[in-house]
């Protein structure tokens, strides 16, 4: 929310809708079945959650139930005010630029609630483990109003994430949550870079696993050795192919170099042909 509230110039740079959303046809943005399922599944879970929370409220004096109620409320808020609107967007074919302000606010809330739910789940797991392992430690850390301190810390994290975090935007065009508000319209170079890094690291990891087996003293079959050698070679060679195929800057620069050299070669050949013709008597 920081950009939206306090840095509107930066908000316009990142989230301005200067393009026509109809460049992606409506039929590609509308996913009725997907949206209906999002709404139906979310509604089902909320209807199950509400009576569960009412029952847990009776045990509010117990630390574990205090934590579980906070998690439950967070989950219900996400399902009701985040996932169900996402389902509606899938049915109507709306993208970020259909309702930019609303999408931005929902995206900020989505990120903050996700942090709250995840953090509270970790705190609950910590409490349960301590309760089994060292009950006196669990009591020392969570007894009485100390639980409220843990919850309060998570709520501070919630508000910090909402205020300063990147909103998680839903796009009906891709049918999922993304960080790029213009997904499907404007390429996200960061995601492409991440994919490049993942592929390169995967090649290195596979190669390292192969050599770990070879150097462990075992005697793998010759076929495994052959395959491993080619994987090892690919681990060094594939990054070049990845850069050419997935990195637009590298690819375009190479094409310009190739195009320039081809033109120079053609010009050079043409000049030599002209020289030969001029020296050849008619």
Task: Please report, in tens digits, the pLDDT of each residue of the chain (282 residues total).
Answer: 778 778 878 888 788 888 788 888 888 889 899 889 999 999 999 998 889 888 888 888 888 889 989 998 999 999 999 899 999 999 999 888 888 889 989 999 988 998 999 899 999 999 989 988 888 998 899 988 899 999 999 999 999 999 998 888 888 887 888 878 887 776 555 555 556 666 666 666 666 666 566 555 555 565 665 666 666 566 556 656 665 676 666 677 777 887 767 767 776 777 776 776 666 665
Q: Is the dihedral of CA 72, 74, 77, 78 positive or negative?
A: negative
Please identify which residue in the block is written with the tokens 């090649």: 203
Residue 45's pLDDT is 92
What is the distance between the alpha carbons of residues 253 and 69, in angstroms, rounded to a whole number? 56
pTM above 0.75, yes or no: no
- DSSP-assigned states of every residue in 42-106: HHHHHHHHHHHHHHHHTTTTSHHHHHHHHHHHHHHHHIIIIIHHHHHHHHHT--GGGSHHHHHHH
Question: Tens digits of per-residue pLDDT, 246-259?
Answer: 666 667 777 788 77
pLDDT at position 152: 94
Q: How far is CA 248 from CA 58, 189, 201, 204, in A?
A: 59, 9, 20, 23
Q: What is the pLDDT of residues 201-231, one digit of tens each?
A: 666 666 666 656 655 555 556 566 566 666 6
Cα torsion 60, 62, 65, 71 to 10°: value is: 90
Rounded to whole angstroms, the Cα distance separating 193 from 186 reads 15
Q: Nearest-5° angle of CA 243, CA 247, CA 249?
A: 115
Phi and psi, residue 128, nearest 5°:
-65, -40
Residue for token digits 């979310």? 42
pLDDT (0 to 100) of residue 190: 55
Give the pLDDT score at 119: 92
pLDDT for 158: 94
């Amino acid at each position: 929310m920081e950009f939206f509230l306090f840095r509107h110039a930066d908000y316009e740079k990142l989230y301005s809708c200067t393009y026509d959303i109809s460049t992606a046809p409506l039929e590609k943005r509308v996913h009725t079945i997907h949206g209906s399922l999002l709404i139906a599944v979310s509604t089902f879970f909320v209807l199950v959650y509400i009576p569960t929370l009412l029952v847990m409220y009776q045990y509010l004096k117990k630390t574990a139930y205090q934590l579980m109620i906070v998690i439950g409320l967070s989950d219900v808020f996400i399902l009701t005010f985040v996932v169900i609107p996402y389902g509606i967007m899938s049915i109507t074919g709306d993208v970020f630029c259909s309702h930019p302000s609303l999408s931005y606010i929902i995206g900020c809330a989505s990120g903050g609630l996700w942090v709250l739910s995840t953090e509270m789940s970790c705190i609950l797991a910590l409490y349960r483990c301590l309760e089994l392992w060292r009950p006196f430690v669990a009591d020392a850390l969570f007894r009485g109003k100390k639980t409220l301190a843990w919850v309060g810390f998570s709520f501070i994290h919630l508000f910090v994430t909402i205020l300063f975090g990147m909103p998680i935007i839903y796009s009906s065009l891709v049918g999922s949550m993304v960080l790029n508000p213009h997904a499907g319209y404007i390429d996200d170079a960061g995601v492409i870079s991440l994919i490049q890094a993942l592929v390169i690291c995967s090649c290195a990891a596979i190669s390292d696993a192969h050599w770990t087996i070879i150097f462990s003293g075992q005697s793998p079959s010759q076929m495994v050795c052959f395959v491993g050698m080619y994987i090892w070679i690919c681990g060094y060679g594939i990054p070049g192919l990845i850069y050419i195929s997935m990195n637009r800057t590298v690819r375009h620069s190479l094409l310009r170099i190739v195009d320039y050299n081809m033109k120079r070669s053609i010009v050079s050949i043409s000049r030599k042909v002209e020289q030969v013709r001029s020296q050849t008597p008619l």
